[in-house]
Structure 1
Amino acid sequence: MTDQVSKLYPRGAANVDYAQFFTGNSYLKTLIADPAISVGVGEVTFEPGCRNHWHIHHDGFQLLIVTGGTGWYQEAGQKARLLHVGDVVVTHDGVKHWHGATKDSWFAHLAITAGTPEWLEAVSDADYNALEDND
């Protein structure tokens, strides 16, 4: 699979503003960044093995709509969920979670986000690498 994983949009620019909160390389195509509304929309593309750190959305939520490849989503204390094109994830206010690509696939999702993120610790390599055993 190539890095043009999404059928909706061309891959965005390197996600340098948030790189410190990711393990691996990600790319962001901002679709809505209107200060007059409280919701941002962007398509995030993850290289194989890339994932974001654990994080929480305060005073808001995050909706993910998978647009390409295969990835993971996990809430704290829950089993990781394998995601495919068309899957939808709803993350409620205050829920600690992470998401990213599988080891062998590019992954892209639309992220519809409201509120303020609190970035936490990285997902450990040991925990991430163990996920493939659960697939």
Structure 2
Amino acid sequence: MKTLLTFVLVSICCFGAAGQDNTVFPRGELAPNLHHTGDVWLYHVSAADPDFDYNVAVATFAAGARLDWHIHPAGQQLLIIEGTGYYQERGKEVQIVNKGDAIKCQPGVEHWHAASADNGVTYLAISGNKRTNWLEPVSEEVYKAIKGD
């Protein structure tokens, strides 16, 4: 059932219907800057419940917006719907992500994700039903050192 739900959500978000734009979900609410830099909008598509142990949300980042370092104890998948962004795990190189890419944030791995400096990014986030552990902000030096935008 989880596989079917994921397939349907990806199909709707990424491909839309013939002759229509890909905007299926609303932009959502502007999130308070508690664990990120810049403007980020969140729309909660589906909350975890006794039958489905995961949350589904759409996040839209303005150019230059980025999350702090964090950990998902139950993991997370990011399905890039629009734009260009970054994903980095602690101790590894930054990955540039684009529309159509899928990122698996493994359980317990420190990482961050963001919009690129010049482009916004929107992704569908499927997250395990355990609270995110927030860490320190991503420094300006680290963010500005990224090439390939």
Flag whether TM exceeds 0.5 (same fold). Answer: yes
Q: In the alignment, what sits opposite 1:66?
A: 80
Q: In the alignment, what sits opposite 1:77?
A: 91
Compared CA separation, residues 35 and 85, structure 1 to 2 (3 A): same
SS of 2:146's equivalent in the other structure is helix
Name structure 2 gaps, 5 residues minimum: 1-21
Kindly indicate whether residue 122 of structure 2 is the aligned counterpart of residue 89 of structure 1. Answer: no
Q: Deviations over 1:65-115 (max 9, x none)?
A: 000110000000110000000100001111000001001101100110012
Whole-Å separation in 2 of the counterparts to 1:124 and 1:103: 14
Whole-Å separation in 2 of the counterparts to 1:31 and 1:99: 20
Matched residues, number: 126
* Amino acid aligned to 1:112: I
Larger Rg: 2
Deviation at 1:130, TM superposition (A): 0.3
Task: Give the TM-score of the pair, scaled to structure 2.
Answer: 0.80
Whole-Å separation in 2 of the counterparts to 1:124 and 1:131: 12
Q: 2:136 aligns with which of 111, 121, 130?
A: 121
Root-mean-square deviation (Å): 1.4
Equivalent pairs: percent with the same residue? Answer: 36
